[in-house]
Amino acid sequence: MRFPLKVRLLTIIFFVGFVLVLLRLIFLQIFSFEKYAAQAEAQHFYSLYLPARRGEILASDKIALASNKNSYLLYAHLPQLSGDRSELSDKIAQILAQTVPIIATDSAVVPPDEQAKYLKRTQKDLTQNIIDRLSVRNALWVNLAHFLDPGTKTKIESLSLTGLGFTPEEARDYPEASMAAHLLGFVGSDQNGNPKGYFGLEGYYDRELSGRAGELRIEKDALGRPIAIGNEIRQEKQDGRTLVTTIDRGVQHFVETNLKAGISDWQAAGGTAIVMDAKTGAILALVNFPNYDPGRFPYYPTERYKNPAVANLFEPGSIMKPIIMAAAINDNKLTPESRCDKCDGPRQIYNFYIHTFDNHYHPNETMTEVLINSDNTGMVFVGEKLGFPSLLSYLSKFGFGQKTSVDLEEEEGGSLGKADDYYPIDQATMAFGQGINVNALQMVRAFGALANGGQLPTPYLVSQIIDQGQTINLAHPPGPRVVSENTAQTITQMLVQVANKSPEHFPKDRIPLLANFQIAAKSGTAQIAVGGKYQSSGTIASVIGYFPAANPRFVILAKLNQPEIRPWGSDTAGPIFFAIVRDLIQYYGISP
């Protein structure tokens, strides 16, 4: 029996509809189950975010360098606000503007009239920001300001403005203000508004410091009110871990003091100083200027956030000479008594001429005298004896062209190419520290190998992690041996003579305390390369070394960027270097 066409069409439509409904049910029940189950559950529960407490960062004496403090979030309940919102915004902005610091250069003092202009401009910007927040459509609650201290909260409360409220929140606190800023970094917010560490240890160890937030889910009724005897689901928070660093607050303080004084004395654009334990690689102090206050980071130029000691590459100049000399001695190409038979005048490499820094030449000088005189032509001779492939190989062994892997963010390691990548003039100049880019910590690590009997140390900042009361000691094994112990001792003896006799070094006997100490050191003065060309003025001035020479405890670098009064490392960075040595002797009670 044939059904009429209309019946058959209805049957087909019904069947197709049934299949579509079935497929939709399968999709909802199987593939989208979790999504809709979550939506259904959200209608019956509301969640409370339980923030984890961020871990502290401690100095070596367990005193906090970064911790947490109680603060307040200022919010507005828009339906309760009354009166003119522009006037309300201006009243709040007047108080908030007082909390914004006035940032000047490290040597400048902001005149009172400029301070008044800055305050007025800040208040105007804050007023407009608050007006914009209060004008958000379809909002009941808006946040107006984070991390207010109790004093600011009291001042705003005294305005007696209806519709405003406060809720407690934790703020990151840096008790030492700008001290060790580039080591610490700071805590800002990610794209979702959650706390996140940036730069320094805060950035490198952000996961360990952050911990894991918890959640409390409470059953609610149809009107959204909590049900007193309803179900409650709790996921406990896990507070962040605490870091114990190698930073000695006393050393950090006097290194900062000496570097800042040197920058001022020589009118330098900035500078870096590092003190590292020669045997373990532990960083006791690391200082850069200009710096910033991590607790008020938004008010500083963003270019200050990076750590120049690891993020900025520069040509080292003459402080590289002991490294190349060590390589040649280690390969038995030269001895300290070997003489240079090509040091009687400028060296010509094709169309280029290489001169000494003062255009004085030293015929037939020994290798020790090459270092004492900081002779560029003598170092070209050393490089030729070593051979350029071996020179590149040793640079790599000493850690150049690669990151130190120190536990800091934003490190730049530079790169070393193959021997065929370099022109003959580049091969010659690299022997005296031109044509190669390094960071300051790489230089400290390389000299650490000379101080540590030829074995490359591993620089590090965090010695322990404390997790829920349990202390975890971190291992930082040394790197490979790069030269023999005998070579390291030989170079040390040569560098002691450099520090004692070199006419271009700061005479350490200007500080009487140092007269009985043997110190191994070398100065450097490097041109600044920009876009493949050297600037006509401005230098990188530095001194690097270690002491006591017989049994080294500390490797020290002092570096100035573009000192204006005098360009030479010996004259400018030298006093800073030896002042740090003096303070280390006094601080640790070191005997000759």
As a whole number, mean pLDDT of residues 135-162 equals 86
CB atoms within 10 A of CB 313: 18
CB atoms within 10 A of CB 130: 24
- Give the DSSP letter string of 394-462: HHHHTTTTS----S-TT--------GGGS-HHHHHHGGGT-S--B-HHHHHHHHHHHHTTTBPP--BSE
Confidence of residue 579 (pLDDT cuts 50, 70, 90): very high
User: What are residue 166's phi and psi, to 5 degrees?
Assistant: -130, 150
Q: CA-CA distances (angstroms) from residue 257 to 277, 309, 440, 575?
A: 20, 17, 19, 13
As a whole number, mean pLDDT of residues 104-114 equals 54
Provide the 8-state DSSP code for 548.
Answer: S
As a whole number, mean pLDDT of residues 367-380 equals 96
Dist CA 121 CA 292 (whole Å): 22
Q: Any idea where the domains of the chain sit in the sequence?
A: 5-46, 48-211, 249-294+309-588
Residues 381, 342 contacting (CB under 8 angstroms): yes
Nearest CA-CA partner of 554 in 159, 342, 285: 285
In tens, the pLDDT along 473-514 reads 999 999 999 999 999 999 999 999 999 875 445 555 567 778
What pLDDT was estimated at residue 485?
Answer: 98
| Pair of tokens at residue 362 | 């030293």
Residues 226, 48 contacting (CB under 8 angstroms): no
| 3-class secondary-structure state, position 470 | strand
Per CATH, which fold does 249-294+309-588 belong to? Answer: Beta-lactamase (3.40.710)
In tens, the pLDDT along 427-464 reads 999 999 999 999 999 999 999 999 999 999 999 999 99
What pLDDT was estimated at residue 230?
Answer: 54
Higher local confidence (pLDDT), 372 or 123: 372
User: Strand 214-219 to strand 57-58: parallel, antiparallel, or no bridges (unpaired)?
Assistant: unpaired
Q: What percent of the chain has pLDDT over 90?
A: 61
CB hemisphere CA count around 68 (13 angstroms): 18
In tens, the pLDDT along 69-93 reads 988 888 888 888 888 888 888 989 8
Rounded to 5°, the CA angle 387-388-389 comes to 100
As a whole number, mean pLDDT of residues 335-359 equals 93
Dist CA 473 CA 458 (whole Å): 16
What pLDDT was estimated at residue 152?
Answer: 92
Q: At what angle do helices 485-501 and 321-330 cross, to 10 degrees?
A: 140
What pLDDT was estimated at residue 143?
Answer: 84
Dist CA 509 CA 516 (whole Å): 9
CB atoms within 10 A of CB 143: 12
As a whole number, mean pLDDT of residues 225-231 equals 56
Provide the 8-state DSSP code for 194.
Answer: -
User: Strand 470-473 to strand 462-467: parallel, antiparallel, or no bridges (unpaired)?
Assistant: antiparallel
Least trusted range by pLDDT, from 1-5, 18-22, 213-217, 422-426: 1-5
As a whole number, mean pLDDT of residues 375-401 equals 97
232 pLDDT above the threshold of 50:
yes
Where are the extended beta strands (E) located within 113-191?
141-148, 164-173, 186-189
As a whole number, mean pLDDT of residues 510-519 equals 81
What pLDDT was estimated at residue 437?
Answer: 96
Looking at this protein, which amino acid is placed at residue 437? N
Distance linking the first and last C-alpha atoms of the chain: 119
What pLDDT was estimated at residue 105?
Answer: 47
In tens, the pLDDT along 291-332 reads 999 998 988 899 999 999 999 999 999 999 999 999 999 999
What pLDDT was estimated at residue 85?
Answer: 86
**Sequence-separated (6 or more) residues with CB below 8 Å from residue 247:** 59, 60, 65, 180, 183, 283, 284, 285, 286, 461
In tens, the pLDDT along 260-293 reads 999 999 999 999 999 999 999 999 999 999 999 9
pTM, entire model = 0.84
User: What are residue 29's phi and psi, to 5 degrees?
Assistant: -80, -30
Dist CA 148 CA 43 (whole Å): 34
- Residue range 48-211 forms a domain whose CATH class is alpha beta
**Sequence-separated (6 or more) residues with CB below 8 Å from residue 306:** 182, 199, 312, 410
Q: What percent of the chain has pLDDT over 70?
A: 84
**Sequence-separated (6 or more) residues with CB below 8 Å from residue 445:** 276, 281, 398, 399, 404, 456, 457, 458, 459
User: Strand 283-289 to strand 470-473: parallel, antiparallel, or no bridges (unpaired)?
Assistant: unpaired
- Give the DSSP letter string of 315-337: --GGGGHHHHHHHHHHTTS--TT
Nearest CA-CA partner of 542 in 199, 259, 232: 259
363 pLDDT above the threshold of 90:
yes
- The mean pLDDT value of the chain amounts to 87
365 pLDDT above the threshold of 50:
yes
Provide the 8-state DSSP code for 7.
Answer: H
